[in-house]
Structure 1
């Protein structure tokens, strides 16, 4: 398989799973948001969003509050082609249920 064939195969599988009205919830980032002044570029810390971007599917980040250390966390809402509105609608409901964006405390 070439990389393009693998991409197309994975895309078809995910589209089959999603159907006309399904969504896939997937972490946006492998960890909570980094602390200020923490290096942003770490190997593969972009991989969770990169997969969805490579597949060319609509996705919306949905903030879900803070983790135990007080850092922001969230999920991606991914849908099939043309279902951008579904992504946004599901993200809105998740945001309502979990409180949405909560700014982390700033410690001096």
Structure 2
């Protein structure tokens, strides 16, 4: 069965490393908020608590947690971790986004 959202091996590895350094659970919450230069923006946080209606997918022992409202905007996406000359960051490859901005952290539908 296909998952509603995916976590790449690179992102799972990065979350596990950050969580281990901070002594926290390896659970990354992805939320979508209004704002940003394109209308919506992604927010990432390490979390210890998972709400009853959250969607949780797991890769290599790392959980990706998304609330139902945000999931409607990111369904079918892949959360990745990319490193380049410009820096390193989590990136959402969102097939629902009609447009994005240069920074890669905001999008429109």
| TM bucket, shorter chain | under 0.3
Given the two structures, how large is their TM-score scaled by the length of structure 1?
0.28
Larger proportion of strand: 2
Instruction: Name which one, 1 or 2, has greater alpha-carbon Rg.
Output: 1
Larger proportion of helix: 1
Given the two structures, how large is their TM-score scaled by the length of structure 2?
0.28
